[in-house]
Structure 1
Amino acid sequence: MKNIQSRIHEMTKARGNGAKNVNDVIAKLNPVLRGWSNYFRSGNAEREFNELDSYVYRHVTKWIDRRGGQRSRFQLHQWPSQRLHEIGLCRMQGRVSYPTQATLVRPSLSRVREIRTHGLKGGFEIGLN
């Protein structure tokens, strides 16, 4: 978890990441988030996915706040998480897939008769002369 958080932190730095607008930041984040979620989705990682969703949201909104050239003060209520997901940010919530339960498959016919007939002479003859 710390590894993915450090990668997100590096990608959402206010300076030095080369992104000019939110779409550029989202375009950089999406492949990393999709790859990480595809790798870890088969386990019980729902809580971690929710934590990572909020971590990404906090860092993207912090990037929006710190980017240069804004004339007005940043207002968080204008950037709800739904708006970021509509722009194209990958959502981690709901990506966990639980493995299906193995079911016992019973044969439709009894094979006892077939099993009894196989052997040395095909029957119950034990003694050979």
Structure 2
Amino acid sequence: MSSRRNASESDKDETSSASPSSSPSTAAALEGMAEAIEKGAHLPSVDERIKHALECPCVKPLRDTSCGEEFDMALTCFMKADEATRASDCADRFVALHQCMVKHSEEFKEFAEELVKHKNVEGPAQV
């Protein structure tokens, strides 16, 4: 997590991830995925890095949703794919994750609201 975050933001994240019924926020999802990938970067094999990433508590809120399996498959594909072809290699996995999230939209209401709120933002993600 960024050191520039204030205590109320931190409390909000802890509260939302502590409750199994709360939906993951966009920022929390991006931070969790980035942290999960980074934590296992030192491991020698891609399978070990994937296993380590999926065990990270930082992605638990996403894995504990109705779309946990789709998330696991998308993250696994992302980590296994060559950087140059990642978008085309993993598109079907991310489409399946998106479809699952649409199907279970009430579970992802906060996530969807954040996406709509930031739909016209350009440039790299700011988390």
TM-score between both structures, scaled by the size of structure 2: 0.29
Decide which structure has the larger Cα Rg and report it.
Answer: 1
Richer in helix (by share): 2
